[in-house]
Amino acid sequence: MTSLYQDIKDKLARLHVLEQVIVINVVVFIVTGFFSLIFKGKSYIFDVLALPNNAWEALYCPWTFISYGFLHQGLFHLFFNMLYLYVLTQSFANLFKARMALKIYILGILFGALAFLSAAALIPFLRIYDPLVGASAGVWACIIFLCTYMPEKSIRVFMFNFKLKYLAFVLIAYNLIIVFSDNSGGGVAHYGGGILGYIYARQLQKGKEFGLFLDKILDYFSSRKTLKTTYRRNTNKRTKSSKQEKSSFTHQKQIDLILDKIGKSGYESLSQEEKDFLFRAGKK
C-alpha cells in the first residue's frame, strides 16, 4: 500500500502544475458527486465552497473567492474546462515557468470572483441569482494571457490556422452571448479572468511580473510540503558538483533570454534552434 501511495505521489510530482490542477478538479468533482449520492442530492459541499452572489455573504466566507474555482456543476462543465486547461499546459510548459502559470490561474479565479460580485451588486438586469462555480475564470486568464503575450503566434484548430489575437477576439465576442444568457454570472467571471490575463501579459512585456506577491504564499506551502524530506535532499545536494550547478544556471538564463525576445518581438521571431531549445526545456 505504501509503495502504491509513493508511486502515485511521484507521478503527480512529475506533472506540470496545470496538470496537477486538473487532477485536483477531477478529485473534487468525484468527491462532491459521492457526497451528493450519500445525502440524496443535497449539495452541502457546494453550499460551503461555492461563491455566494452577495458580496457581504462572500466576505463572511473568504475561502470561497478561490474554492469556487474547483467546483463544477456537471460532467460536461468539468470536461471542457479541463480540456482547455490541458491544451494550455502544452504552451505554458514550453515557454513559461510552471509557477507563473499557477499564479495566472489562481489570480484569474480571484479576478473572476471580484467581477462576478461587482456585477451582481451593480448590474441587476444581468439576472445573477445563483452562486458561482467553475474554473472558467482561471482558464480564461491563461488563454487571454497567451493571446496578449504572443498575439502573432499561429495555432491550428481542426483544419484551420489562425493567430492567437483572433482567438481572443472570437472569445470576447462569443462571451457576450453568455453574459446575457441564464449564465450571466459565469460570463462576467470569464471577463474578470480575461482582464487579469491581459494585465499580467502587458506587465510581463514591460519586464514586471504582476503576481510576484503570491510567491511568498506559494513558498510557504512548498516549504511545508518538503519539510519531511529536507535532510535527505540536503544530503543529495552536497554531492552535486559546481559544474552541474553552473550548467543549471546557464540553462535557466538561456530560457529567460528567449522569453525576453518573445516579449519584445513575438514567438515568430525565434529561430528554429531557439524554438527547439524551448520545446526540449519544457519536457524536462
Burial of 256 (0-12, 13-18, 19+ CB in 10 A): exposed
The total number of structural domains in the chain stands at: 2
On average, the pLDDT of the chain sits at 80
Q: How many CA atoms lie within 13 A of 35 on its CB side?
A: 11
Q: Are residues 141 and 35 in the same domain?
A: yes
Neighbouring residues of 52: CB distance < 8 A, sequence distance ≥ 6: 58, 61, 64, 131
Residues 92 and 166 occupy one common structural domain: yes
CB atoms closer than 10 angstroms to residue 59: 12
> Is the model more confident about 155 or about 2?
155
Residue 31, C-alpha cell as written in the block? 468527491
Last residue of a domain, one of 219, 254, 271: 219
* Predicted local confidence at residue 172, as pLDDT: 93
Give the global pTM.
0.76
CA distance 113 to 116: 5
Same domain, 98 and 203: yes
| One domain for residues 252 and 186 | no
Question: How confident is the model at residue 3, as a pLDDT?
Answer: 67
Residue range 58-114, pLDDT digits in tens: 999 999 999 999 999 889 999 999 988 888 877 777 777 788 889 999 999 999 999
* pLDDT tens per residue, range 198-245: 999 999 888 888 888 888 887 776 665 544 444 344 444 444 444 444
Host domain of residue 277: 246-284
Cell of 202: 502587458
Q: Is 161 helix (H, G, I), strand (E, B) or coil?
A: strand
Give a yes or no: residue 3 inside a domain. no
What tens digit of pLDDT does each residue of 165-200 get?
888 998 999 999 999 988 899 999 999 999 999 999
What mean pLDDT is predicted for residues 245-256?
58
- 101 and 172 belong to one structural domain: yes
Same domain, residue pair 31 and 132: yes
Mean pLDDT of all residues in 37-44: 70
Give yes or no: residues 127 and 258 share one domain.
no
**CATH number for the domain harbouring residue 79:** 1.20.1540.10
144 burial level (CB within 10 Å; 0-12, 13-18, 19+): buried
Tell me: do 207 and 96 sit in the same domain: yes
89 found inside a domain: yes
Tell whether 82 is covered by a domain. yes
Joined grid coordinates for residue 198 = 491581459
Q: Of 255, 256, 148, give the one whose Cα is nearest residue 194.
A: 148
Is residue 228 assigned to a domain? no
Are 58 and 145 contained in the same domain?
A: yes
Confidence of residue 247 (pLDDT cuts 50, 70, 90): low
Residues 47 and 187 in one domain: yes
